[in-house]
Amino acid sequence: MLQNQPNNVRVYGVLLRAGRVLMSAETIVGRDILKFPGGAVEAGETPELALVREFIEEGNLAVTPAYLLHVPGTLFSPWTHSEYTPLYYRVHGEGEPRTPDHETIELIFMEPDTAIESGRMAAPEILALKRALQGEGAA
């Protein structure tokens, strides 16, 4: 049976709290970047279940996916030089992130403008963050 699921589906969660956004500071292929917590959707997982799992793995933080923010389609990563299909969700969660020792990331709450203006975010992440902030203003 032919499936139309894209390869390398990735899920990311935008967690806003007190006017700040949770960012993952990482080094990918020698470049310091900021992205949202998240990662690969594994075989047999829904994107929402993968997102919940990734937040627990990366930050010992339980989240609930609220709604889909942005689906830019399959993209070519300038960092890894490979195709990926990101899905960005608005998520809700309580508690403070605690990154396990084996993770090579730092989870930090940042002012959204500081993150955007850092030059360390990719365009799809910036658009997802702006959409999340617009949703907060409408609430």
Tokens of residue 82, six digits: 């490979």
Decide if 40 is inside a domain: yes
Q: What is the pLDDT of residues 128-137, one digit of tens each?
A: 999 999 987 6
What does the pLDDT read at residue 5?
A: 62
Residue 47 pLDDT level (bands cut at 50, 70, 90):
very high
Segment among 6-15, 72-81, 86-95, 101-110 with least mean pLDDT: 72-81
Decide if 35 is inside a domain: yes
Decide if 34 is inside a domain: yes
Tokens of residue 89, six digits: 């969700």
Domain count, the chain: 1
Decide if 108 is inside a domain: yes
Decide if 95 is inside a domain: yes
Task: List the domain range (segments joined by +) for residue 20.
Answer: 9-138
CATH (domain of 41): 3.90.79.10
Decide if 1 is inside a domain: no
Decide if 24 is inside a domain: yes
User: Per-residue DSSP letters for the chain?
Assistant: ----PPSSEEEEEEEEETTEEEEEEEEETTEEEEE-SEEEPPTT--HHHHHHHHHHHHHS--EEEEEEEE---SEE-TTTSSEEEEEEEEEEE-S-----TT---EEEEE-HHHHHHTT-S-HHHHHHHHHHHHHHHH-
Q: What is the pLDDT of residues 2-24, one digit of tens each?
A: 455 667 999 999 999 999 999 99
28 pLDDT above the threshold of 50: yes
What does the pLDDT read at residue 2?
A: 40
User: Which residues are CB-contacts of 79 (< 8 A; sequence separation ≥ 6)?
Assistant: 28, 29, 31, 33, 122
What does the pLDDT read at residue 103?
A: 87
Decide if 86 is inside a domain: yes
User: Residue 124 and residue 73: Cα distance in Å, rounded?
Assistant: 10
